[in-house]
Structures are given as C-alpha cells and as structure tokens.
Amino acid sequence: MSNLLTQAIARESVSRRPLWIMRQAGRYLPEYRKLRTRYSFKELSRNPELATTVTLQPIERFPLDAAIIFADIMSPIPALGVDFEFNPGPEIAEPIRTLAAVKALHDPDPEEVAPEVIAALKLTQKELPKETALLGFCGAPWTLAAYLVEGRGKNGFPKLRALARTEPKILHLLLERLSKLMARYLIRQAEAGADAVQIFDSWAGLLSRSDWEQLVRPHLEAMLDTVGKSNVRRILFLQNAPHLVEAYATLPTDVLAVDWRENLPNLQAKYGDRIAFQGNIDPAILIGGAEPTRTATLELLRQVKATGHIVNLGHGILPDTPIESVQALVEVVHDES
C-alpha cells in the first residue's frame, strides 16, 4: 500500500517527509507507564491485544507516519530454546559460547517464531489509520549474537569480542543460524501486514572494519538479500559505528538509518541515488525541551534533501523526554509542506 513512508523508501517525491520515532511506544508516554503498573514488559509484549494497544498509543497521541509493532529484538529467541529475562535489558540464563551450545539450538518451524508478534501485526493493521504505515522489525544477527554470547548488554561486549577472535567458527555458525531465522521472520511479518521492516544493528560497531568484513558481512548480506528477494522493504539501522557506515551504505538495503554522529547530507550526496536515509536527531536534544528540538529539526530539514528522507531520531527516544518535545518535532516536520 502507498503511504508517505513507502513513497520515501522508494525515493519518490513526497508531499512532506514521513516521520516516526524509534521506541515511540514506551516509557516517555504516561499511558504506557500506567499500563506497566499492571503488566510486566514480558506480559505486554507476549499478549497480541496488549501489544496492539501499546503499538497504537503513540499514533493516538501524535500524527506519526508509521507505527512500529510493540515487541523486542529478543521476541523470536524463545523459539531457539533459549531462556532469558528482561532486567530491564535481556539477560540470558545460559549464554551461548560453545559449538555444542550453538548446535543444541532448536530449529523451529516458521509458525513457532514469535507467533504473538505476527498476531499483533495482523490486529494492529486492522486498527491503524490507512495513511499510517506499519513497521515490523528484528535484531540484526550480530546484535542478537551479542546478547546471546555475552549474556546481557555489557559495555563493549568483551566476551563476544574475545569469542570473535578465539573461536570465529562458533560465531559464524551462530550468525548463519540467526541470519536464516531472521530472514524468515521478517518475511512473515510482511505477510502479516508490515509495509516495511527495520533491522536493528545497535551493536554493529564493536569490531574493526576488517573483522566485520570477515565475520559479520556475509551473514548480514545473506539475510538482507533473502528479504529483498521477497520484495520486503528493508530499513537497516546501525548505531555508534562511524567506521562502518560506508560499508553499510553498500549493503543490499532500501534505507540506511544512522545515528546523530553521521553527516546525512554527505551520505545522501554519495549514495542517495541508490538508497534512502533515515534519521538522525540526537535523542538527548529532546530532553532539552521544545525549543532545542525545534531548532535541531529545522536544521535537519534544511540540510537534508527531502526526497528519500525519513525523519527520525538517531537512536531510541529516551524515557525522560518531555511530550512537548515530541509535539515540537511533529509540528516542524508537518509545517514543511
């Protein structure tokens, strides 16, 4: 279906740029915090009706151009037979660090992979205004492997980086498994109604460029290729990885989403005839209030060409963001037309 988001992804000319916000359903919203007093994050994300309610919360408050399904990058992981909790980030009961552990992972049927997310996508699509796009998502193989190997979100992920050097074969095998699983999962999300999918490679930047080329690129590329061959629109997000941005810009993706460290006009000039871009206001600026948000958004719109640009933050919105800042962001983007 055609909407501002899919038009921008196709680099068609748009009446105005589309806007959505990473982590738009979450703790900065009073209505989300209220629900969280009754339900844990696990309960919310594993119940399709509740996940649909939370997905729609930001859309009911702001005229955003896309809804991202309320789930987590870890949602498909139980299907591999891996136990974990949120505390508040993912904590794996038994981290995967041996060949035996990788080989012991289940090989689930497609229907067994996060069925609650597929159900929530179908429910959400029915409720969503028709001009609002629906986004599915997954974690990139490397970012998922980071949690599975390290066991939790630890600064720099040292056990992961050690394994990458000492036992690259184990990681290759794990990344290959995750790459195949995620490709199928994304295609199923599109079949369930997602107009596009975002692949979150939040921990892309941990390896050197040459280690990344050898260990990560083949698996990420294979996943993106498989998804693209099914005509599913891909948004690839990387974070805190200035040394890899140019490599990511040449991967098979429709959109590259970057954080605030990156110079979008330069990237557009170099790669804008091939891919679209998403981003990249620093989420911390929104903490400063409506005025700095307005200024930063105006600056972004002035510097970045409208065609092939999806406005977003450079990373997830922070929990203590004032609602007025989000309002200001929406107003400036809407005023451009």
Crossing angle of the two packed helices 290-303 and 264-271, in degrees rounded to 10: 30
User: Could you give the residue numbers annotated as active site?
Assistant: 23, 27, 36, 72, 147
Taking CB under 6 A as the criterion, which residues in 235-254 touch ligand CP3? 239
Among 65, 72, 150, 254, binds ligand CP3 (CB under 6 A): 72
Positive or negative torsion for Cα 225, 188, 241, 293:
positive
- Contact flags string 211-240 toward ligand CP3, x per CB under 6 A: ----------------------------x-
| Binding of ligand CP3 by 15 (CB under 6 A) | no
Q: How far is the CB of 100 from ligand CP3 (least distance, A)?
A: 26
CA distances from 60 to 53, 72, 117, 135 (A): 10, 21, 20, 16
Q: How far is the CB of 259 from ligand CP3 (least distance, A)?
A: 10
Among 63, 89, 129, 242, binds ligand CP3 (CB under 6 A): 89
Taking CB under 6 A as the criterion, which residues in 91-130 touch ligand CP3? none
Q: 170 exposed, middle or buried (CB, 10 Å; 0-12, 13-18, 19+)?
A: buried
Q: Closest CB to ligand CP3 among 71 and 275?
A: 71
195, 134 Cβ separation under 8 angstroms? yes
Q: Closest CB to ligand CP3 among 15 and 37?
A: 37
Contact window for ligand CP3 (CB under 6 A) among 17-25, 182-190, 284-292, 293-301: 17-25
Taking CB under 6 A as the criterion, which residues in 150-169 touch ligand CP3? 153
Q: Which residues contact 117 (CB under 8 A, 6 or more apart)?
A: 51, 69, 71, 75, 76, 136, 189
Among 23, 180, 261, 305, binds ligand CP3 (CB under 6 A): 23
| Binding of ligand CP3 by 73 (CB under 6 A) | yes
Helices (H), the chain: 4-9, 30-38, 41-46, 48-61, 99-103, 115-127, 141-150, 158-166, 168-191, 209-215, 217-229, 245-249, 264-271, 283-287, 290-303, 323-335
The site for ligand CP3, by CB under 6 A, has a size of 22
Positions that interact with ligand CP3 (CB under 6 A): 22-27, 36, 41, 68, 70, 72-73, 86, 88-90, 137, 153, 200, 202, 239, 316
